[in-house]
Amino acid sequence: MAVRSCRVTITDMDGVAHTVEVTAGTLYEAVALGLAAIRSDDWVVGIPQGMNSVRVRVTDIPVEHHVKLQDFMKWAERTGGSPREKTDRLRIREIIGLPRDAR
């Protein structure tokens, strides 16, 4: 079961939409976690039953990396490594305008 980050939106009895972020393994788990979180919020008037729908949007978990340009350039100019690393390095060298052959 893949765990995913989701945004769950439910509209209360006053027509106000409430959104929470949850991490769930299934669609129904996301709905349950969203309901529990929204129900516990004092700002929610009440959640109508019946035909009221719950919107669940699966989102990618944002990842941020920081790379020193100096380290990046050293890697790009390096020779050797696994076949995959060599191929990756050649592609990167082309992108940034370095000669294909390291000097």
User: What is the domain partition of the chain in residue ranges?
Assistant: 4-59, 65-103
The angle subtended at Cα 75 by Cα 72 and Cα 65, nearest 5°, is 40
pTM tops 0.75: no
Cross-strand partners of 17 = 11
- Give which of 4, 18, 11, 19 is closest to 58, Cα–Cα: 4
Could you report the per-residue pLDDT of 23-51, keeping only the tens digit for each?
Answer: 999 889 999 999 899 988 888 888 887 77
Asked whether 33 and 3 are in contact (CB, 8 A), the reply is no
Give the pLDDT means over successive 10-residue stretches in the chain (103 positions): 88 91 91 90 82 85 72 89 90 87 60
- Specify the pLDDT at position 102: 57
φ, ψ for residue 18, nearest 5 deg: -120, 135
Q: How far apart are CA 21 and CA 63, in angstroms?
A: 16
